[in-house]
Amino acid sequence: MVIRLICAGHTPQQAEQWAAGLDCWAGGTDEDGTAFACHVAGLWSMRAARSDSLAAQNRAALARSYAAWRLR
Residue 11 lies in a domain: no
pLDDT in 10s for each residue of the chain, 72 residues: 899 999 899 999 999 999 989 988 888 899 999 999 999 999 999 999 999 999 999 999 999 999 999 999
Residue 44 lies in a domain: yes
| Domain residue limits at 32 | 28-72
pLDDT at position 24: 84
Considering the entire predicted model, what is its pTM? 0.88
Residue 42 lies in a domain: yes
Residue 34 lies in a domain: yes
Q: Please give the tally of structural domains in the chain.
A: 1
pLDDT at position 23: 87
Q: How far apart are CA 5 and CA 21, in angstroms?
A: 14
CB 6 within 8 A of CB 69: no
Residue 16 lies in a domain: no
Residue 39 lies in a domain: yes
Residue 55 lies in a domain: yes
